Amino acid sequence: CGSKTSEQKNIQFSIPTDVASLDTTILTDQYSYDVAGNVEEGLTRVDSKGNAALALAKSIDVSKDGLTYTVTLKDNLKWSNGDKLTAKDFVYSWKRAVDPKTGSEYAYLMGAVSGANDIISGKSSLDTLGIKAESDTEFTVTLAQPTPYFKFLLSEPVYYPLDQKVVDKYGKQYGTSSDKTVYNGPFMFKSDKAWTGTNKNFSIYANPNYYDKSAVKSKQIDFQVISNANTGAQLYKQGKLDFTLLSTTDLINANKKTEGYTVFKQARTDYIEYNQSGKNASSPDAQKALANQDIRQALNLATNRAEVVKTALPGSTAATSFTPVGMSKTSTGEDFATYAKQDYSYDPTKAKELWAKGLKELGLTKLSLSLEAAGDLAPSEATANFLQTAYQQNLPGLTVNLKLVPFKQRLNDAQNGNFDMVLSGWGGDYAEPSTFLQLFTTGQSYNDGKFSSKTYDDAFKAATTTPDVLEPAKVDEHYKAAEAALYEGSYINPIDFQANPALMNPKITGLEFHSTGLAYDLKSAYIK
Amino acid sequence: MVKYILKRLGLLLLTLFLIVTLTFFMMQVMPGTPFSNPKLTPDQLEILKHAYGLDKPLWQQYFIYVGHMFTGNFGTSFIYTNQPVITMIAQRLPVSMQLGTQALILGTVLGALMGKASARRKNGLLDGIFGFLSVLGISVPSFVIGTLILLYLGFNLNLFPISGWGTFSQTIMPTIALSFAPMAVVTRFVRSEMIESLSSDYILLARAKGLSEKEVVNKHALRNSLIPMLTLIGPMAAGLLTGSVLIEKIFSIPGIGAQFVDSIPAKDFPVIMATTIVYAVILMVFILVTDILTAIVDPRVRL
């Protein structure tokens, strides 16, 4: 480690888990994305202001009805192997992504493109996908419905182009190691310090074929996979690492004063879902109780979010809406979550009143509720522990039974509605509120609590369909109304907006963090 | 002997078949699917299951798997998308084996020397110290020792690189951490064997013949104590060579142990199956080889 060139020191970057794949159609985990997103690129790339700026595209023209996108590629685009990068590479890649045989977990992000959903579910052929190459540098895209955030989607890996020649050559092996992949991004892999599919030390190098190579400031960036966060922090202090994530409460608290301590706000919200389906709760009483708005409101008011964050989730911030802060902007440039903020406050007195009122309505004097959380995720367990005590203290007659299960079990139970209260988490895919607010429309499969609010449904529908979908100011209003409906009905209980505390060498300049999509954009990053 | 070996090989195959079958069906009891994205709707999950053949009836999946297994096809990983499991194991197993071998050699050699010294000065100061060390080695898990070594030799004294794999110096701390347990076991074993043999008649005879103390101890007592150690080292070696999960995690080593553990909560079926098979085969082969070696070294053992 610590290799140096004569004039410039390489950034020593660490990630906590192995890279799983470089195949941009099928990679699923954040850290594979963080590597792939720096060696590959799409039509757009999110810039420092959070806008979807043009990347491989020279221009993207949108028709008045918002349904047709005409894309012109930059001139003379090339892959790292010298192949020309053309419109066909997009047509090929997008079809590969929606092909059910490919088995891409992120294929659903292509749902905005006309025909995609039917192809994904095997109902129609690949030819019906709404993309057509007009020439080597131009293609048109037809959408299923107007999608104001489509330019953000275009920056996602499933939308990246692929060099068919190379994919055909390696078949299923494409992207399983760095020598079985071809690159079009700011960086690329070489045979020296390559990624073999399993190794934990590898490097990326500035790509000489990249169209914007003058903006790439590092010649080489070294990656290390360090699964033990304590080791990462120690290597940072020894000067052997320039970037490492802090993943445990203890480590975060111990490093708040360390030079370079930085908190990256994620587009992730932790929230409690209440089982309002009328079935599968732990008891008939629990079932009745969670259908009662006073009871739910009492639970929401008894949640001391600031204290949860302090005790269990250092770095995170108390939630004030479901859509997290720092993810997307309104048409006037304001942060959406700030604009749509609700009064999720801590008020134990009012909570007690409503609790007593609710119990009386139900003819109960005491109540047992279970709270399920993922025991294999440390912050989740800590949050659940805190809430159990806080609820029992604040709400007389309440017993909270903690149910700590593996993450996959929690997911299963939530989806099948087998819970009273479950601590869930959601991360955004793109920088627009619908990536969060789509969850709770009636009958949506992520609406684990199975509640139904007409106000919410109407607001969401108005925001995402014509005519209002084409007017950004109205979209903002409708989304805000949806947030208000969630709050008024106490349908869910947003706890916190997650953050990634990290240690980052203060000499690193130009590293862009994004709360959705590519988290760490190293394109212009270098050590001063 | 040949008949015995053939019989044992037959039993080995039968055991392997049972392990494959049990593991296969036990995996199905775990919740969830191998698809890690919580955003997939039930419909989308069904489409993915179909793409990977996971929607077929269980018995069909089982026969398909066993069929492929016989042709040497262990499938591809779900987490490390499309990576052939065989390649993954081929890349990771040698790493674990190197670490295990180093720890085994270090542990056995140190253990034998410490055991010998203890036996020669039974109840002496050195015996006390070594006795204490071996109790520590047996009772303190390797990850605690690993963390302590990491803290003192790595963090505080900065003697060795604290993570990664590739250079010999990176293997030193994990080797020491892993060698504690075999060292402790061997020390105790050699000590008690030697104390026993030092008081036996043939030692008395050797001494009576006028052999030097060094010769008596090294040529007669120690050598005789090492034979039964074979039975001890066999299974221990199998355990060490198949990778230490926690040590691999602590020192960021790309071995097979860490991968095996990660594959379980992720429900990465092909990886779980193939790794289980590799583990089982290694363990059974080592036990078999140990038995055969014991018979060769000690003619009193009849197979």
- pLDDT for the residue A408: 81
CB contact under 8 A, B254 and A198: yes
Please give the torsion angle defined by the CA atoms of residues A426, A430, A436 and A437, in that order, rounded to the nearest 10 degrees.
-170
d(C-alpha B258, C-alpha B237), whole Å: 18
Q: Which of A23, A123, A173, A231 to mutate to test the interface with B (most CBs of B within 10 A)?
A: A231
- pLDDT for the residue A1: 45
CB contact under 8 A, A225 and B165: no
d(C-alpha B220, C-alpha B211), whole Å: 10
Report CA-CA distances (Å) from A485 to A55, A290, A296, A482, A490: 38, 17, 14, 5, 8
- Write the pLDDT tens digit of every residue in A301-314: 999 999 999 988 88
DSSP string, A482-499: HHHHHHHHT-EEEEEEEE
- pLDDT for the residue A118: 94
3-state secondary structure of B118: helix
- Write the pLDDT tens digit of every residue in A191-246: 999 999 888 899 999 999 999 999 999 999 999 999 888 889 999 998 999 999 99
Residue from A524, A430, A458, A450 nearest A491 by CA:
A450
For the ranges A434-438, B87-91, B261-265, the one whose mean pLDDT is highest: A434-438
State the angle between helix axes of B85-120 and B269-297 in degrees (0 to 180), rounded to the nearest 10: 40
Q: Which of B81, B91, B95, B96 to mutate to test the interface with A (most CBs of A within 10 A)?
A: B81
Distance from the Cα of A427 to chain B's closest Cα (Å) equals: 9
Distance from the Cα of B108 to chain A's closest Cα (Å) equals: 29
Residue A5 has pLDDT above 50, yes or no: no
Q: A15 or B262: whose pLDDT is higher?
A: A15
Contact list in A for residue B84 (CB cut-off 8 A) is 173, 176
Residue from A337, A373, A314, A307 nearest A499 by CA:
A314
The 10 Å CB-count burial string (b at 16+, else e) for A273-304 is bbbbbeeebbeebbbbbbbbbbbbbbbbbbbb
Q: Does residue A407 contact residue A436 with C-beta atoms inside 8 Å? A: no
Residue A283 has pLDDT above 60, yes or no: yes
Q: What residue type is assigned to position B26 of the chain?
A: M
B38 φ/ψ angles, rounded to the nearest 5 degrees: -70, -5
- Nearest CB to B252: which of A23, A174, A227? A227
| CB contact A215 to B (< 8 Å) | no
Share of chain B above pLDDT 90, in %: 33
CB contact under 8 A, A198 and B44: no
Q: A296 or B44: whose pLDDT is higher?
A: A296
Strand partners for A268: A427
Q: Is the ipTM of this complex over 0.85?
A: no
Q: B225 or A19: whose pLDDT is higher?
A: A19
Q: Quick one: average pLDDT of A94-117?
A: 93
3-state secondary structure of A46: strand
Report CA-CA distances (Å) from B263 to A363, B80, B253, B257, B271: 49, 10, 16, 10, 6
Residue A6 has pLDDT above 60, yes or no: no
| CB contact A338 to B (< 8 Å) | no
Distance from the Cα of B146 to chain A's closest Cα (Å) equals: 12
d(C-alpha A422, C-alpha A416), whole Å: 12
B157: nearest CA partner in chain A: A238
Band of residue B187 on the pLDDT scale cut at 50, 70, 90: very high
CB contact under 8 A, B81 and A21: yes
Omega of the bond leading into A467 within 30 degrees of 0 (cis): yes
Q: Quick one: average pLDDT of A401-428?
A: 91
d(C-alpha A88, C-alpha A132), whole Å: 9
Q: Quick one: average pLDDT of B87-95?
A: 90
- pLDDT for the residue B303: 57
CB contact under 8 A, A21 and B80: yes
d(C-alpha A91, C-alpha A139), whole Å: 8
3-state secondary structure of A527: strand
Contact list in A for residue B161 (CB cut-off 8 A) is 1
Residue A299 has pLDDT above 70, yes or no: yes
Share of chain A above pLDDT 90, in %: 84
- Write the pLDDT tens digit of every residue in A461-515: 999 998 999 999 999 999 999 999 999 999 999 999 999 899 999 999 999 999 9
Distance from the Cα of A225 to chain B's closest Cα (Å) equals: 7
Q: Does residue A336 contact residue A433 with C-beta atoms inside 8 Å? A: yes
Mean pLDDT score across all residues of chain A: 94
Q: Quick one: average pLDDT of A377-389?
A: 90
d(C-alpha B158, C-alpha B169), whole Å: 12
- pLDDT for the residue B301: 67
Residue A423 has pLDDT above 60, yes or no: yes
Q: Quick one: average pLDDT of B237-253?
A: 83
d(C-alpha A489, C-alpha A292), whole Å: 10
Q: A181 or B294: whose pLDDT is higher?
A: A181
Question: What's the pTM?
Answer: 0.85
- pLDDT for the residue A7: 66
A443: nearest CA partner in chain B: B41
CB contact under 8 A, B154 and A429: no
Distance from the Cα of A22 to chain B's closest Cα (Å) equals: 9
A193: nearest CA partner in chain B: B166
* Range 257-296 of B in CB contact (< 8 A) with A: 258-259, 265, 267
Contact list in B for residue A18 (CB cut-off 8 A) is 80, 254
Q: B231 or A139: whose pLDDT is higher?
A: A139
Q: Does residue A446 contact residue A434 with C-beta atoms inside 8 Å? A: no
Q: Which of A1, A17, A105, A273 to mutate to test the interface with B (most CBs of B within 10 A)?
A: A105
Pair of tokens at residue A317: 């911030």
For the ranges A1-5, A57-61, A98-102, A404-408, the one whose mean pLDDT is highest: A57-61
Q: Which of A126-130, A320-324, B63-67 has the lowest mean pLDDT?
A: B63-67
CB contact under 8 A, B252 and A225: yes
For the ranges A486-495, B79-88, B232-241, the one whose mean pLDDT is highest: A486-495
- pLDDT for the residue B151: 87
Contact list in B for residue A121 (CB cut-off 8 A) is 43, 47
| CB contact B45 to A (< 8 Å) | no
CB contact under 8 A, B37 and A409: no
Residue A524 has pLDDT above 60, yes or no: yes
Give residue B188's Cα distance to chain centre: 20
- Write the pLDDT tens digit of every residue in B272-294: 999 999 989 988 888 888 888 87
Domains of chain B (ranges, CATH numbers) = 2-70 (no CATH), 88-297 (1.10.3720.10)
Longest dimension (CA), chain B: 86
- pLDDT for the residue B41: 81
Q: Does residue B254 contact residue B89 with C-beta atoms inside 8 Å? A: no
Mean pLDDT score across all residues of chain B: 87
- Nearest CB to B37: which of A23, A100, A105? A105
d(C-alpha A268, C-alpha A315), whole Å: 13
Contact list in B for residue A200 (CB cut-off 8 A) is 164-165, 252, 254
Residue from B198, B276, B233 nearest B107 by CA:
B233
- Nearest CB to B162: which of A21, A235, A411? A235
Q: Are strands A520-521 and A492-504 parallel, antiparallel or unpaired?
A: unpaired
Q: Which of A41-55, A295-309, B143-157 has the lowest mean pLDDT?
A: B143-157
